[in-house]
Structure 1
């Protein structure tokens, strides 16, 4: 598909510790990697 709407992760009090624990693994530009559901991405990308 030419356009895919990807759900953004929600970072809140319930999961902030998980992100902070991995902060050393984030690149210097500050981009935060989030865990994602690979099956969801496959389904979104397969849409026509």
Structure 2
């Protein structure tokens, strides 16, 4: 019983941590892709 309630308390924090990590990685990936596309476009124009 004690272990179950402990897991129940930790589950939302664990899920929030995973979500935050996912959003963080996605943001970095998006920025990286954007920079890459921007550099490619600049190279084509030059």
Fold match (TM-score > 0.5): no
TM-score by length of 2: 0.26
Normalising to structure 1: TM-score of the pair?
0.25
The structure with the largest helix share of the pair is 2
Question: Which of structures 1 and 2 has the bigger CA Rg?
Answer: 2
